[in-house]
Amino acid sequence: MLTTALGMSSWNSATDAADRLVMPPVDGRRAFQYLESICAIGPRISGTQGMQSQQELIEKHFTALGAKVQYQEFDAAHPKSGEPVRMKNMIISWHPESQERVLLACHYDTRPFPDRELLPINRTKPFLGANDGGSGVALMMELGHHIPSIRPKFGIDFVIFDGEELVFDRDDPYFLGSEHFARTYRDNPPTHRYVGGVLVDMIADRDLNIFYERNSLKFAPEITREVWDIAKQLGIREFVPRRKHEVRDDHLPLNEIAGIPTCDIIDFDYPYWHKRNDLPAACSADSLRKTGAVVLVWLATHGQPS
């Protein structure tokens, strides 16, 4: 019943006989275990040993699943010392031969310090970034188990940005990795073309609430509405189709520099944002499962005739 002309089977035909979306079997518990193993590394600040350990973990994971893993490297000046910091975006490609592609993005560096702590003494303590930095990677690691079995219209790249927040002071630059990626795409166009993208950030909050993000509606209104519509059809009410925050995030360079319409899926009502308690205990397997399901259906169905 669930086989289509494209030869897809099971849930990934995206609709059942009654034309309803089928919930994909995203494994929230496995995603949460990935979140825990990422956090077990410790802080993953750009240019540090923790970041390198994370890169090794990610590369091994996706290579074993059959994806093509590449690094896009560049140097950025450390905002404190001015010394070069080696930055590495990771690009994990599925069906790399496809010339028309969509991207799923997140950042994987963690902020150097929990600088939103109220007491100054606490602002010098380590920051683990379970939700802010860890959750997007964990979601991708789980989705990596499902991508090989879908037959999307477009090739898929998971793009993991470095240097989203190598930020010590308010005026330090954000989005180093996504800006580099976007400028490279604009100035040295690859043979492939991105038709659109989705960014995930802080999507594992135990108390998940994901509102329309205003810049996403401005730059990528169709994709934004598609994503929230998928959530509605899957019965995932944590995606609330109402405008709330306007967030500056890695989707801005993609939209403004690269011209890739990209929406940001972000829960910006996270109580431990840039605080020490951004730990696995503040996150949940079910939040990862729900966001993962929405994103996976979008990747499988974007551009498919409905």
Smallest gap from residue 133 Cβ to Zn ion (A):
7
Give the DSSP H/E element, type plus range, for residue 63: helix 49-64
Token pair belonging to 241: 């189709």
Token pair belonging to 156: 């898929």
**Are the beta carbons of 169 and 116 closer than 8 angstroms?**
no
Q: Which amino acid is at 253?
A: P
Q: Does 278 bind Zn ion (CB under 5 A)?
A: no
Site string for Zn ion, 79-108 (x = CB under 5 A): ------------------------------
Beta-bridge mates of residue 77: 84
With respect to Zn ion, which residue has the nearer C-beta, 132 or 250? 132
**Which one of 115-123, 124-132, 152-160, 293-301 is the stretch in contact with Zn ion (CB under 5 A)?**
124-132
Smallest gap from residue 269 Cβ to Zn ion (A):
14
With respect to Zn ion, which residue has the nearer C-beta, 165 or 213? 165
Beta-bridge mates of residue 89: 72
Smallest gap from residue 30 Cβ to Zn ion (A):
25
Site string for Zn ion, 145-184 (x = CB under 5 A): --------------------x-------------------
Query: Which residues are within 8 A (CB) of 248 and not within 5 positions of it... i.e. 6 or more apart?
Result: 174, 215
- Rg for the chain, CA atoms, rounded: 18
Smallest gap from residue 9 Cβ to Zn ion (A):
40
Give the length of the chain.
306
Smallest gap from residue 23 Cβ to Zn ion (A):
30
With respect to Zn ion, which residue has the nearer C-beta, 112 or 197? 112
Distance CA 251, CA 220 (A): 10
With respect to Zn ion, which residue has the nearer C-beta, 232 or 244? 244
With respect to Zn ion, which residue has the nearer C-beta, 12 or 110? 110
**Are the beta carbons of 189 and 95 closer than 8 angstroms?**
no
Smallest gap from residue 121 Cβ to Zn ion (A):
21
Alpha helix segments (H runs only) across the chain: 28-40, 49-64, 135-143, 176-187, 214-219, 221-234, 251-256, 285-301
The size of the interface with Zn ion (CB under 5 A), counted in residues, is: 2
Residue written as token pair 């969509």: 102
DSSP label of 124 = G
With respect to Zn ion, which residue has the nearer C-beta, 165 or 179? 165
With respect to Zn ion, which residue has the nearer C-beta, 54 or 93? 54
Assign 3-state DSSP to the chain and report helix, strand, coil percentages, each to 5.
35, 20, 45
Q: Which residue is nearest to Zn ion (CB)?
A: 132
109 by DSSP, 3-state: which?
A: coil
Q: Does 132 bind Zn ion (CB under 5 A)?
A: yes
Smallest gap from residue 174 Cβ to Zn ion (A):
9
Where does this chain bind Zn ion (CB under 5 A)? Answer: 132, 165
